[in-house]
Structure 1
Amino acid sequence: MPIRSASAHWHGNLTEGYGKIRTGKGGLSGDYSFKSRFEEGEGTNPEELIAAAHAGCYSMALSKALGDAGHPPTSVETTARVHLDKTDAGMTVTRIDLDTYVDVAGLDEAEFGKVAEAAKENCPISRLLSPGAEITLSARLTS
């Protein structure tokens, strides 16, 4: 399997500095700063990138799990919300809420819930993050 990369460059001190984050192949690039991370300033931040990675990974994992169950989805739309909180250990990602809407035919709510939860447990990014952060899931059918 290929190794993926990203880079970050920072100028200046923590509170007044600024930087740029770029994925290895250049598909995503964004400015970031203290204000974009800890306040409501313009730009991106590492937690948004974690959220994007988790939402993308989970959507693919759920699509695969539904296909394996004989119900390939028409679409999967997932939002991930990463909670960055101050703890005794310092700033910490404490929780990630996954919220997904799925258009899939021929599956009742109970079976869908089991497949969606199993996909969360088997998503590589969930497995990476779950030892340190609680991961919640709200999965709903749109069809």
Structure 2
Amino acid sequence: MKRFGSAAWNGSLREGKGSVSTESHALENHPYTFFSRYGEKPGTNPEELLGAAHAACFTMSFVRLLGMANFVPEQVDSESEVVIDKDGDGFSITSVHLAVTAKIPGIDQATFQSIAAKAKAGCPVSKLVKVEIGFGATLLS
């Protein structure tokens, strides 16, 4: 299985603008700029897209493992915070923190934590990210 995303850019780094698209057209020519990446201007950036991909990947892995253990969640909310910091002449992703909050009937805390940790470790995006991934899992009653 292969999936793709693409990006286009016009102009210089600070004055130019770009767009990102996905094969599924979930994003189609969605704008991004230097200031949407490193500032607070509207548009997206690679780090937020990576965070969304990571959260989605983890969530599917988690729900799959829950199903294998005969649990069906009422609700799962996941977030992946990706931090980018100055690194010499450029920038690096320096940390990622994945968090999940879920409501799952009949599950105990130990089982919840165990399945969540396995999902974090087994998610293909987690395997791709080479910085240590912080993690938090909250079971709602």
Relative to the length of structure 1, the TM-score reads 0.92
RMSD: 1.3
| Map of 2:44 onto structure 1 | 44
Other structure's SS at 2:24 match: coil
Other structure's SS at 2:63 match: helix
Letter in 1 for 2:137: A
Q: Structure 1 residue 54: deviation in Å?
A: 0.3
Distance 1:89 1:69, change over 3 A: farther
Q: Structure 1 residue 36: deviation in Å?
A: 0.3
For 2:107 and 2:88, the matched residues in 1 are separated by: 44
Q: Is 1:107 the equivalent of 2:123?
A: no
Q: Structure 1 residue 89: deviation in Å?
A: 7.2
| Map of 1:16 onto structure 2 | 15
Other structure's SS at 1:101 match: strand
> What number of residue pairs does the alignment pair up?
140
| Map of 2:126 onto structure 1 | 126
For 1:13 and 1:32, the matched residues in 2 are separated by: 13
Distance 1:39 1:140, change over 3 A: same
Q: Is 1:142 the equivalent of 2:140?
A: yes
Q: Structure 1 residue 102: deviation in Å?
A: 0.9
| Map of 2:67 onto structure 1 | 67
What per-residue deviation string (whole Å, max 9, x for no partner) do you get for residues 69-101 of structure 1?
Answer: 221212211111110011247311111111111
Letter in 2 for 1:24: E
| Map of 1:25 onto structure 2 | 24
What per-residue deviation string (whole Å, max 9, x for no partner) do you get for residues 43-75 of structure 1?
Answer: 001111101100100010110111112212122
Structure 2, unaligned stretches of length 5 or more?
none
For 1:53 and 1:102, the matched residues in 2 are separated by: 18
Structure 1 vs Structure 2: percent identity of aligned residues?
41
